[in-house]
Amino acid sequence: MKANAARIAQDDPCRPRHYRPVPCAPAPAEGPAQEALEISHTRLLVTAALFVLAFAVIAGRLIEVAGFKAGDNHLARFHPAARAYAARADIVDRNGVLLATTLEVSSLSANPKLIAAADKADAAHRLAAILPELSESEIFGRLASDKSFVWLARQLTPRQKFAVIQLGIPGLAFESEGKRVYPKGDLAAHVVGYSGIDNDGLAGIERSFDDVLKSRDEPVRLSLDVRLQYILRSELARQMAEFSSIGAAGLILDVRTGEVMALSSLPDFDPSNPGAKPDAIFDRATLGIYEMGSVMKIFNTAMALDDKVVTFDSKFDATKPIEIAGFTIHDDHAQKRWLTVPEIFMYSSNIGSAKMAAEAGADRQRDFLGRLGLLQAPAFELPELGTPQVPHPWLPISVMTVGFGHGISVSPLQVAAAAAAVVNGGTLYAPTIVMHPGGAAPQGKTVLSAQTSEQMRRLLRLVVEHGTGKNAEAPGYLVGGKTGTAEKIVHGRYAPHALISSFLGVFPINDPRFLVLVMLDEPHGNAKTGGYATGGMVAAPAVKRIVERMAPIVGIQPVDEDSPEIRRSLMVGLPSPQGRKLAAN
Amino acid sequence: MIRLGTILWGLLVIAAGAAMFQVKYQVVRLESELTDLNHEIARSREATRVLYAEWSLLSDPQRLARLNDNFLHLAPVTAAQLGSIDRLAQIPLRAAGTLSRPLLAAAPAKGSIAP
């Protein structure tokens, strides 16, 4: 302390000789000097604190990373190689059966600059032996170019790839790319659709779900059931061959949800080679629109009953054909007497249906068909959708013809969706080919009363039991349905031998679950059908077999049709020709 | 005292350095292991996809029907073959062992495996 004071004292060369500073702490600075000192002090402290904090954070993180391994697994997921290779997601049926998938294949490219000029001819010769779709001169032409990248062949088979590697030619390279594979082939061709070589969807679900398929790994799950699809397709093919028709279409619909369980149009094609049969790409079930004929009487009768225009006891004169505006409306199964509403439906009387429609009027008819979605294109996931052709203007004769299914063209899909609403208690569900996510109840809209629906179920059963649809009777499964036979318009006239014959069946009719629609395009009668090619002869037997084959798969138990409860629930009172009341069921 | 402190710090630095190298090489090794595993996963996934596609191809109903026509001759289940548990009660009971014999005897030769 003493030495220190002396040093300070001696530090000042200008001190007076007699003055000796008092040995103590230096006097505190005053004014601005002190302020500056304090500021720098504070700054130093703050900086130090920040550094301490930063180091504490780093230390903490180090301890966390080194000491607690949990939670660092997610880092591995950022690794680029961990993502699965999928240029396009799969398409599966409702049970997860694969309908379309993408497999990795190699394509062969070359860098001509890396191949010695003298070797090029030899390389071309040897490659041509492996790649049959390319000629030797073609390969040589590409190898001789002065580019540094040329494609040689896309999507080699594993065998070809191995052979190319064995050649050991320098300058060749493989590029991985996705190839679309359709393991079920033509089974659901029109639904699945197909895609091009660059993995762009060009038709069907492949096209309408193109963005979805490209943007995720999770498969698109359809409402289709491959087993039912096979049953439907094989029965359609059988009918088509038996009655030498030019085409066939059909679908199976869940009437409680609007889900399409099977949808087929014949002829069909192989999605991996759609170009081979360009005509077969046309989808008769969704894109084709047809005058469906008597099947449309389902809607005519439902309209008249729902709007209380008629009751089961109302009678119409079907003794002679109707002459209107130069046309004659006559019956195929003419009874030549007054018929009640159930009889009109059962015998498929055009005259009775036309008169019933006329009594309801154009407004009711248009309104009812509109509510059932039969006047505009349906909202459906497939891009191939037909827009209905409806009468314009809606003349009195149109009202009559629409009553029995002529003068209005709709797609089989629309007919099925609308008929499902008629039988399921009156709720219209938009048809869908994509499965409703687990348990989600679809939104339907009520289009007719439950009572009308109940009456329609009785009428549909009547057709199969006593009317034109007897061939659709699958014992135990309570099939109800309606036949339809319409002449196609060829060169502006109805052609008597070019028919659209169809049958729309629903089972079990006392508590409908499934709707089966079968349509044949230009069937020809054979000896077995006595030359007839009507819906009841050519389409109804197919529906019967489809119902019998699919019922065990979908878990529907056969019932005893003669049990009293069922007889009562499906009874329709019919007058006998002698005027006695018959109880048909 | 200062000497001892310096030596201590020096040792710590060396230890830290050594540990860091150790960790670094471990990380490099794990990285390459991870890359290998990821390739393995990708390969396995692709193989799984191929197997799924093959299974779908083999279980194609049209193929199964063809095989059935060639070898088994099974027919679709008919309504007459289905019944409910309640119906069983209506069938009179038989002594054990008598049931299998007539069933076996009645099995048609046509239903068995064809040549």
CB A514 within 8 A of CB A254: yes
Provide mean pLDDT across the span B1-17. 89
User: Shortest CB distance from A98 goes to which of B52, B76, B79?
Assistant: B52
pLDDT of residue A86: 58
Q: Is the pLDDT of residue A579 over 60?
A: no
Report the interhelical angle of A396-403 vs A297-306 (nearest 10°): 110
pLDDT of residue A23: 61
Region of residue A326 (phi > 0: left; psi between -120 and 50: alpha; otherwise: beta): left
Summarize pLDDT for A449-464 with one digit per residue, the tens. Answer: 999 999 999 999 999 9
Residue A4 — very low, low, confident or very high, per pLDDT cuts 50/70/90? low
User: Shortest CB distance from A79 goes to which of B38, B62, B77?
Assistant: B38
For A51-119, list the strands marked E by DSSP: 91-92, 98-110
Provide mean pLDDT across the span A403-432. 93
User: Which of A42-56, A230-244, A251-265, A273-287 bottoms out in mean pLDDT, i.e. has the lowest?
Assistant: A273-287
Q: What percent of chain A has pLDDT over 90?
A: 45
Of the candidates A7, A36, A32, the one whose C-alpha atom is nearest the C-alpha of residue A21 is: A7
Provide mean pLDDT across the span A394-412. 91
Which of A19 and A325 is assigned the larger pLDDT?
A: A325
Cβ atoms within 10 A of the Cβ of A449, count?
16
User: Shortest CB distance from B61 goes to which of A99, A227, A474?
Assistant: A227
Summarize pLDDT for A216-241 with one digit per residue, the tens. Answer: 888 999 999 999 999 999 999 999 99
Q: Is the pLDDT of residue B111 over 60?
A: no
C-alpha to C-alpha distance for B61 and A112, rounded to whole angstroms:
48
Summarize pLDDT for A45-66 with one digit per residue, the tens. Answer: 999 999 999 999 999 988 887 7
All residues of chain B having their beta carbon less than 8 Å from the beta carbon of residue A102 are: 49
Of the candidates A483, A543, A573, the one whose C-alpha atom is nearest the C-alpha of residue A252 is: A543
- Phi first, then psi: give them for residue A287, nearest 5 degrees: -95, -35
B75 is written with which tokens? 């027919």
Summarize pLDDT for B32-68 with one digit per residue, the tens. Answer: 999 999 999 988 988 888 899 889 999 999 999 999 9
Residue A264 — very low, low, confident or very high, per pLDDT cuts 50/70/90? very high
CB A129 within 8 A of CB A260: no
SS (H, E, C) A262-295: EEEEECCCCCCCHHHCHHHHCCCCCCCCECCHHH
Pick the catalytic residue from A107, A265, A294, A453.
A294
The shortest C-alpha distance from B42 to chain A (Å) reads: 6
Summarize pLDDT for A437-491 with one digit per residue, the tens. Answer: 766 678 889 999 999 999 999 999 999 998 889 999 998 899 999 999 998 887 7
**Position A51, amino acid:** F
pLDDT of residue B108: 45
Of the candidates A92, A156, A263, the one whose C-alpha atom is nearest the C-alpha of residue B56 is: A92
Summarize pLDDT for A195-215 with one digit per residue, the tens. Answer: 887 788 899 999 999 988 888
Cβ atoms within 10 A of the Cβ of B91, count?
8
B61:A474 CB<8 A: no
pLDDT of residue A367: 92
Terminal CA-CA length for chain A:
127
A473 is written with which tokens? 């009777």
CB A482 within 8 A of CB A463: yes
A548:B78 CB<8 A: yes
Q: Which of residues 17-76 of B touch A (CB under 8 A)?
A: 34-35, 38-39, 41-42, 45-46, 49-50, 52-57, 59-62, 65, 76
Q: Is the pLDDT of residue B115 over 50?
A: no
Provide mean pLDDT across the span B79-95. 74
A264 is written with which tokens? 């087929």
A82:B52 CB<8 A: no
Q: Is the pLDDT of residue A542 over 80?
A: yes
Residue A72 — very low, low, confident or very high, per pLDDT cuts 50/70/90? low
Sign of CA dihedral A263, A269, A273, A279: negative
pLDDT of residue A29: 60
Best mean pLDDT range from A143-157, A514-528, B94-108: A514-528
pLDDT of residue A584: 46
Alpha helix positions (H), A145-272: 158-167, 189-192, 204-208, 210-215, 226-242
CB A307 within 8 A of CB A360: yes
Q: Given the structure tokens 């860098």, which residue do they identify?
A: A111
Q: In the 8-state DSSP scheme, what is residue B80? A: G
Whole-structure pTM value: 0.77
Q: Given the structure tokens 């007497």, which residue do they identify?
A: A337
pLDDT of residue B105: 44
Q: Is the pLDDT of residue B9 over 60?
A: yes
Residue A567 — very low, low, confident or very high, per pLDDT cuts 50/70/90? confident
H or E element in which residue A261 lies: strand A260-266
Q: What percent of chain A has pLDDT over 70?
A: 89
Residue A3 to residues A7, A9, A14, A126, Cα–Cα distance (Å): 6, 10, 20, 102
pLDDT of residue B113: 40
Residue A11 — very low, low, confident or very high, per pLDDT cuts 50/70/90? low
Summarize pLDDT for A296-348 with one digit per residue, the tens. Answer: 999 999 999 999 989 888 899 988 888 887 788 888 878 888 999 999 999 88
Residue A580 — very low, low, confident or very high, per pLDDT cuts 50/70/90? very low
Residue of A77, A85, A176 to mutate when probing chain B, most B C-beta within 10 A: A85
Provide mean pLDDT across the span A510-523. 94
Using the Cβ of B90 and the Cβ atoms of chain A, whether some distance falls under 8 Å is answered with no
C-alpha to C-alpha distance for A321 and A127, rounded to whole angstroms:
76
Provide mean pLDDT across the span A281-308. 92
Numbered residues of chain A with Cβ closer than 8 Å to any chain B Cβ = 76, 79, 81-82, 84-85, 97-99, 101-104, 181, 183-185, 187, 226-227, 229-230, 234, 474-477, 548-549, 551-552, 557-558
How many beta-carbon contacts under 8 Å exist across A and B?
A: 77
pLDDT of residue A113: 84
Residue B55 to residues A8, A206, A335, B93, Cα–Cα distance (Å): 99, 21, 57, 44
Summarize pLDDT for A335-386 with one digit per residue, the tens. Answer: 888 999 999 999 889 999 999 999 999 999 999 999 999 999 998 999 999 9
Residue A41 to residues A34, A44, A52, Cα–Cα distance (Å): 11, 5, 17
Specify burial of residue A565 (Cβ count, 10 A radius: 0-12, 13-18, 19+).
exposed
Q: Is the pLDDT of residue B101 over 70?
A: no
Average pLDDT over chain B reads 80
Break chain B into its structural domains and give their ranges: 21-71
User: Shortest CB distance from B56 goes to which of A97, A477, A552?
Assistant: A97
What is the Cβ-side half-sphere exposure of residue A259, based on CA atoms within 13 angstroms? 22
All residues of chain A having their beta carbon less than 8 Å from the beta carbon of residue B52 are: 98, 101
B79:A81 CB<8 A: no
Residue of B36, B56, B67 to mutate when probing chain A, most A C-beta within 10 A: B56
Average pLDDT over chain A reads 85
All residues of chain B having their beta carbon less than 8 Å from the beta carbon of residue A79 are: 34-35, 38
A265 belongs to the catalytic site = no
B82:A558 CB<8 A: yes
CB A165 within 8 A of CB A204: no
Cβ atoms within 10 A of the Cβ of A23, count?
13
Of the candidates A238, A228, A259, the one whose C-alpha atom is nearest the C-alpha of residue A416 is: A259
Alpha helix positions (H), B59-82: 61-67
Cβ atoms within 10 A of the Cβ of A88, count?
24
**Position A367, amino acid:** D
Domains and CATH numbers, chain A: 91-221 (3.90.1310.10), 230-266+282-584 (3.40.710.10)
Name residues whose C-beta falls within 8 Å of residue B35's C-beta, 6 or more positions apart in sequence: A79, A81
Which chain B residue shows the shortest CA-CA distance from A97?
B56
Q: Is the pLDDT of residue A251 over 60?
A: yes
All residues of chain B having their beta carbon less than 8 Å from the beta carbon of residue A235 are: none
